[in-house]
Amino acid sequence: MVELENIYKAYGKNQVLKGIGLQVEKGEVVVILGPSGSGKTTLLRSINFLDHADSGSVTVDGLTVDCAHAGKKEILALRKRTAMVFQHYNLFNNKTVLENVMEGLIVAQKMPKQEARERSLAMLRKVGMEEKIDVYPAQISGGQQQRVGIARALVLNPKIILFDEPTSALDPEMVGEVLECIKGVAREGITMIVVTHEMGFAR
């Protein structure tokens, strides 16, 4: 499903990733655990080329991209197989909860608006956010925003979901609701890679 081979990435003289390899099978949930600054997020972001590795190769669902010679079309095709849940939610503040989830379907997948709305509503119900569809991100809690972020990722029907420190920006009392949401995703058999520095969350 996902394979990284011999991934190298440097920022100036700082070699962050040194010959990293990783294999993740379909339906697996893999946690990358380590302290801040250890290259976890860089490795995760190299899978969908948000961070472009200097060398090595990335394979997602049968598509292999050579990091040193990756073209825009290859990167776009690979990104369409993935979705990402960000540490700081990355929701559009000027769009409602529903519009945030619909955005990728309409813009990236060119889906008709009504179909995108129906799929997005179904996904928001799945994460328990159906009562907040018309509010804006600033009007809901961090835990609720992250659940919207998870719905936004799921609605794209990706082959794999990448979670970058999904609970580290949350107040402690909100971690549980997001963890339950992620567990629900895992139970559906969706392939997931989760980056975290929190041992309790990883367990």
Distance from CA of residue 94 to its chain's centroid?
21
CA distance 80 to 11: 27
Domain, as residue range, for 23: 2-201
Q: What is the pTM of this model?
A: 0.92
Q: Which carries the bigger pLDDT value, residue 203 or residue 157? A: 157
Question: If you average pLDDT over every residue of the chain, what do you get?
Answer: 93
Tell me how many domains the chain contains. Answer: 1
In Å, what is the CA distance from 53 to each residue of 17, 48, 67? Answer: 8, 10, 6
* pLDDT tens digit sequence for 79-110: 999 999 998 889 999 999 999 999 999 998 99
Residue 44 banded pLDDT, cuts 50, 70, 90: very high
> Is the pLDDT assigned to residue 116 strictly greater than 90?
yes
Provide the percentage of residues in the chain whose pLDDT is more than 90: 79
DSSP result, 33-52 = E--TTSSHHHHHHHHTTSS-
CATH code of 152's domain: 3.40.50.300
In Å, what is the CA distance from 46 to each residue of 5, 13, 30, 149, 155? Answer: 11, 18, 16, 20, 22
